[in-house]
Amino acid sequence: MAQYDIAPIRQTAVKPTLLTSLAAGLHQMATVPLLRTLAVLAVVSLLTEQLLDFVLFATAQQELRTPEHIAAFMGVFFGVTGALTMLAPLVAGKVLAKLGSATTAQIPLGTALVLALALVVHPSFAAAVLSRGAFRVTESALGSAARGQMQTALPGTARSQSNALLKGVIAPAFYAVGGLGLKFAPTIDLRWLAIAVAVLAAIGFGVAGALLRRAYASLVRNSIDDRRLDLNEVYRLDDETLRALADELYCGDRNRELLAAEILAQCRDNPKARLVLRNACALPDRQLQRFAVAALTNGCQHEDAQAFAGVLATSTDADVRKSALRGLLHSSGSWQATVATAADQPPSDVTALACAAQIADHCDNAGACQGQLCDRPCGAAAVALQQMATSPNALVRENALWAIGEIGVHRGGALHWVLGGRSDRERPVFTASYAALGRIAHPDAQQALLAGLADPRTAAAAMEGLAAMPDALCAHLLPLLDQLAAGGQIAAAVALGSGTGPHSAAALTHLLRRPQRAVRYRAAKAIAARQCFDTMREIPNSAVTLVVHDEICSALQATLVLAGVAHRNGNRIPHTGAVAFFCGEVQARIALCHRRMFALLALLVDSKLVDLTQYHVRRNDSKSVAASLELLEHALPAPLRGDVLLVLDGQSLREPYRTLRERPDLDQTATTDPLACVMGPTGDGWLRTCAAYAFKDDMARRYPHPICPGQLQNPVVAARSLFAGGVTV
């Protein structure tokens, strides 16, 4: 964002005064529901405590009479209650954990309410002592702790400011008011004072029960949204955190174990984290093993070989074994060492890996090697691999195709067996075939892989194979991508979004320049995803700017069509009927242009700013839209600022109409004859069909051939569109 931002305005820092700070704190307390509720509870507890103190002193004066006895009693009273307050935290934590903060905050006020009612029924010195003592202990041990725990959902600055305001300003003010009121209390009967205590406690108890839990839940939800954990941006872990995560792997709670394994997998560059992951490879849980082995495979080191060998010796899961074999192959550097380390009695995956490697090392693709024995070691290997690729056991066939792809061999008939695996009925074999095609450096393999993207039945497996394709092989994809239909290009863009190298980035840039809007949109989303992972260093700004301008022209042209319909209809958009249906579909085109444009703008400016603007535009809040557009305007490149604001400002049709009439890049016939504009290059097949339904008489007279008359009775067209609705003129 700073790349295109205006020069910062130098401003002199204004030192806040006492009154401005006080006003800001009161505003914060008034706008946050939890702070308001906690302030009410704190004030009610303070006044309740003040009244109970007065009742206790009044009854003590009547019962004990002499100042010496009263002072002695007060010393014993505060000593005993202080000792109980010190011991109460031993059980307060369990109470908080069992009941929760909101319920625990009600306990002191509920206790005061019950004992105050007892004091009303039997006003005595013992009842006053019990009421004041119970409230003092429960309020200190439970009430204050519960309110403090609730405030942890607030940011640190807001928490400290609210505490300072409450304890330094609000509490003393109400304490003074309460003291002033107690000046008239000596003339009031003790029962009335107990009733006042009961009323205050009932108010606090009701507020805590009705509002506190709801306000706390709302604040916690907002806090979770603001502090959302992103495992793709895990910071460097210190030794203490690593030890804690390592202990979590053995805690017995599966969810916590998987979360710890996932975090450690993201920190695989840390040597100590890799050590923990090597130990995790020996765990019996298959999912934990999969996380650990996959993390170690990404960036293999020589020290990881022993962990991979241990997994191969104990694991029976096919996916875990393949990952371990891949890691062992990369860490050892030779297939001979991999096969020797894997097992003394090699299973089918190790055998297939050895056969494929022998073919890659020795076969020169002569005629005698096409599945026949020859003098070189590859002859027997080719026969063995062919038997495995055609075995009745699906797991053996899958292992054979996986090994061919892992070695990347296409000689000796290996490519023929992989191509044949595409028609296998077993899905694991079928998926392994496309995964192998993505790793074989041969034009036929790449063409077959991309052809699978165009078929909905094979698109998912082909996308996985393309996503796992080494970046060096992506250098030959550009001419093959041009031969695909729009659906295949969209699938290719999604798959290339997980790439990491420059050649796959170049393929995405190539797709970004395609004429199909859906292809460009998916390519932009894939580039944005790679930008988040820092796997696409250079964004094609010039290409993105051109595509954004194209989307702007499409949105403005559709807006001009709406203005033309309004002009023909007495300067208003109809809300019912066939023309309203047509206008709703034009609005849907504008909404699609907005969505594609936002995806493209996220490549040019800060994506968070674009998301904020998109959120406010969807809500159609004029004040928020204006504020976010002002920020976006400063961040956008100069050639796009005016046009983007014209598309997104949400004005009525009258406002942009004058500007659109002066643009030479738009088809101005839309203002006088929107039907001719839709039937021209601006429209598409669906809009023309909708126009045939909306303007039946004009279509039959002016365009008898382009639209089939049968489409006028199309039930899909006759149905009311979800987008059909009113437009502000």
Which CATH number goes with the domain that contains 40?
1.20.1250.20
167 with 209, same domain: the answer is yes
My answer on whether 66 and 210 are in the same domain is: yes
* Residue 222 and residue 258 share a domain: no
Based on the domain organization, do 190 and 288 belong to the same domain? no
222 and 338 housed in the same domain: no
Domain-located, residue 57: yes
pTM higher than the cut 0.85 = no
| Residues 157 and 121 grouped into a single domain | yes
Highest mean pLDDT among 11-25, 332-346, 377-391, 545-559: 545-559
Do 249 and 218 reside in the same domain of the chain?
no
Residue 143 forms part of a structural domain: yes
Q: Do 45 and 137 fall into the same domain?
A: yes
Per-residue pLDDT at 547: 92
Q: Do 711 and 667 share a structural domain? A: yes
Q: Tell whether 381 is covered by a domain.
A: no
pLDDT in tens, 678-713: 888 777 777 888 888 787 777 667 766 555 444 444
Helix (H, G, I), strand (E, B) or coil at 271: helix
State which residues form the domain around 583. 554-605+633-718
Q: Which of the listed residues 290, 310, 344 is the one where a domain comes to its end?
A: 344
Residue 98 lies in a domain: yes
Looking at mean pLDDT, say which of 370-374, 589-593, 652-656 comes out highest.
589-593
Number of domains the chain is built from: 3
Do 220 and 280 share a domain, yes or no?
no
| First-residue to last-residue Cα distance in the chain | 34
Domain stops at, among 321, 344, 367: 344
Give the pLDDT confidence of 574-613 residue by residue, as tens digits.
888 888 888 888 888 888 999 999 999 999 988 888 888 8
Of 185, 200, 226, the position where a domain reaches its end is 226
**Does residue 407 fall inside a structural domain?**
no
Contact indicator for 522, 484 with CB cutoff of 8 Å:
no
- Most confident of the following: 69-78, 449-458, 687-696, 711-720: 449-458
Beta carbons of 379 and 368 less than 8 angstroms apart: yes
Whether the per-residue pLDDT at 496 is higher than 90: the answer is: yes
Give DSSP secondary structure letters for 468-522.
Answer: TS-GGGGGG-HHHHHTS-HHHHHHHHHHHTT--SHHHHHHHHHHHTSS-HHHHHH
Tell me whether residue 379 is in a domain.
no
In a domain, 150, yes or no: yes
Nearest to 199 by CA among 139, 119, 138, 128: 119
More confident residue, 686 or 468: 468
> Does 300 lie in the same domain as 218?
no
The per-residue pLDDT for 256 is 83
Does residue 451 lie in a domain region?
Answer: no
Dihedral of alpha carbons 521, 536, 228, 632, sign: negative
Exposure on the CB side of residue 686, measured as CA atoms within 13 A: 10
Q: Determine if residue 66 is left, alpha or beta; phi over 0 gives left, psi from -120 to 50 gives alpha, anything else beta.
A: beta
Same domain? For 218 and 326 the reply is no
